[in-house]
């Protein structure tokens, strides 16, 4: 695996400055760009380590703090090991911040993140890939539909509420998506039940979107996050294999 350099960066947006983490191969050369969207707990050491692992495979990876309007990361006072059953109070802090990030605001920010990658000397020319976790899976789908000319592939892992009857449900942007999509759904995830998985797949198929979705048995919502109680090692390694396969096909 390639040696990696990780640095904090700031990204100017229409509403302020988003702090972010940029990981890239330590060779000074441009590499395909990947925008990594966080889960609800935010930009923290574990997400930086995920970005480093991707960078070690030959990609330049940007992880923005999508909650930057509420402060620089870490936005929340998180324990080293996150167990929301033991700390239910965490959701009282995180919930309102999540809800304040409307699709409109998130997609305005996405334009700034994509522009940062397009202008970076460490990113090759052309469209980039996305990968998102939990709420980040929603952002990945919305970004693919909002900026189709900038996104070549997008993956979502243990995403919830991707295909609901809400007017801003992510699946509703399917007609605009030109990227190839991959989803690794959690088997034990009430926020993404079988009927939503079916609706998402049917909508993408009807729109002619190249896509593939799998349900990871025994995995819970948040299974890739090793610093949480939801972590599932086998599902996480399956996620890495699927994500890297998608990126290799794309670039």
**Which residues are identified as catalytic?**
134, 189, 221
Contact in structure between 141 and 47 (CB atoms under 8 Å): no
Q: Which residue pairs from 201-208 have beta carbons closer than 8 angstroms and sit at least 24 positions apart in sequence? A: 203/163, 203/171, 203/172, 203/174, 204/171, 204/174, 204/177, 206/174, 207/174, 207/175, 207/177
Tokens matching residue 107: 């997609």
Q: Where are the alpha helices (DSSP H) in the chain?
A: 45-56, 89-100, 103-119, 135-146, 194-206, 233-250
Contact in structure between 132 and 138 (CB atoms under 8 Å): yes
Burial 14-39 (b: 16+ CB within 10 A, else e): eeeebbbbbbbbeeeeebbbbbbbbb
């Amino acid at each position: 695996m390639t040696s990696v350099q990780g640095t904090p960066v700031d990204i100017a947006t229409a509403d302020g400055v988003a702090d972010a983490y940029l990981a890239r191969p330590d060779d000074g050369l441009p590499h395909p760009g990947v925008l990594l969207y966080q889960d609800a707990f935010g930009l923290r050491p574990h997400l930086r380590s995920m970005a480093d692992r991707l960078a070690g495979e030959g990609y330049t990876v940007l992880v923005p703090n999508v909650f930057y309007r509420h402060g620089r990361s870490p936005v929340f006072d998180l324990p080293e090991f996150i167990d929301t059953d033991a700390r239910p109070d965490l959701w009282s802090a995180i919930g309102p911040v999540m809800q304040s990030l409307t699709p409109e605001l998130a997609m305005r920010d996405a334009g700034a993140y994509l522009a940062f990658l397009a202008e970076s000397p460490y990113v090759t020319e052309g469209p980039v890939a996305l990968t998102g976790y939990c709420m980040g899976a929603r952002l990945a789908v919305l970004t693919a539909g909002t900026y189709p000319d900038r996104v070549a592939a997008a993956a979502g892992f243990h995403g919830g509420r991707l295909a609901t009857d809400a007017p801003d449900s992510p699946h509703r942007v399917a007609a605009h998506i030109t990227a190839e999509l991959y989803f690794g759904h959690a088997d034990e995830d009430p926020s993404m039940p079988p009927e939503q998985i079916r609706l998402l797949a049917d909508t993408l198929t009807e729109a002619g979107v190249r896509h593939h979705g799998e349900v990871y048995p025994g995995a819970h919502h948040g299974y890739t996050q090793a610093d949480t109680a939801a972590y599932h090692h086998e599902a996480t390694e399956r996620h890495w294999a699927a994500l890297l396969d998608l990126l290799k096909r794309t670039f």
